[in-house]
Amino acid sequence: MGRTYDALLRDTAAALGAAGIDNARFEARLLMAHATGRPVEALIARGREEVPAQVVEAVRTLTARRVKREPMAHILGEREFWGLPFKVTPDVLVPRPDSETVIEAALKLMTDRMRAWRILDLGVGSGCLLLALLKEFVNARGVGMDVSGQALAVAQLNADALGLAARASLMPGDWRQAEWWRALGGPFDLVVSNPPYIESAAIDALMPEVARFEPRLALDGGEDGLAAYRLIARAAPELVGVGGYLVVEAGDGQALEITEILRAAGLSPRVPIKDLGGIDRVIPAKH
């Protein structure tokens, strides 16, 4: 008899664990489910059955990629965010649970779920923030800006897959250029952003999944990690309508400085909102 599903799971988990990957058994199940096209529950039920040779080879190939610390989202091709599936490629940041704090903050600020809000997402990436908000605000329309054409293509795939393409306009833009905001058609009721906020010198020391595989342009926040916030804040009075909100994600320990940047731009920052890890993750500011 050949290798069973249980044995393949053990071997795969052992390889992942030896590579320093947490939750190795859980990830092994995900890789096996991806290789077989079957849900994890079905694989558990088949534990003592023999695995077809082509599946064994497929699992080994996927495991080799993960052992090199390629992000699981890249291997699987998608990641869940706000209960929605998002296609993910190396051209965009992998959506993270911390960023769901942006959605939670926006829903508390914009209490009328039926109103036709105008929403802007700066650095739209995979589209996870903008599209999750459009799912919640069913009459809203949104604009997503990104400097990367490849990222915009991923966001468009996600907008199409989620049935939101009619309400989401995706366009190129670079906040490092003069008067970059003029082409966006503001002002907006809500502007959200998860800008790059890692200090340039700190990127190579990040976990391998991030430092080696995620787009550096989406990570690099300049010498102090705050360059994008200054550029966004400078344009905020033009982009955010009076009475509207800017909601930005922040890195650990950055909330106080970002708050001051937003205040200096003429906005009225609110108390930072903590993520599930207790970090001041999101700073809302009213215009």
Q: What is the pLDDT of residues 106-134, one digit of tens each?
A: 999 999 999 999 999 999 999 999 999 99
User: Cβ(69)–Cβ(213) under 8 Å?
Assistant: yes
One-letter amino acid of 79: R
Band (46; pLDDT cuts 50, 70, 90): confident
Rounded distance, CA 39 to CA 139, Å? 35
Band (2; pLDDT cuts 50, 70, 90): low
User: Cβ(208)–Cβ(202) under 8 Å?
Assistant: no
Domain 77-286 has what CATH class?
A: alpha beta
Q: What is the pLDDT of residues 151-199, one digit of tens each?
A: 999 999 999 999 999 999 999 999 999 999 999 998 999 999 999 999 9
Q: What is the pLDDT of residues 65-84, one digit of tens each?
A: 999 999 999 999 999 999 99
Rounded distance, CA 139 to CA 250, Å? 28
One-letter amino acid of 16: L
Rounded distance, CA 220 to CA 198, Å? 5
Rounded distance, CA 42 to CA 27, Å? 16
57: its two tokens? 């080879």
Q: What is the mean pLDDT of residues 54-61?
A: 95
Which is nearest to 141 in space by CA: 159, 157, 154?
159
200: left (phi over 0), alpha (psi -120 to 50) or beta: alpha
One-letter amino acid of 165: A
User: Cβ(229)–Cβ(248) under 8 Å?
Assistant: yes
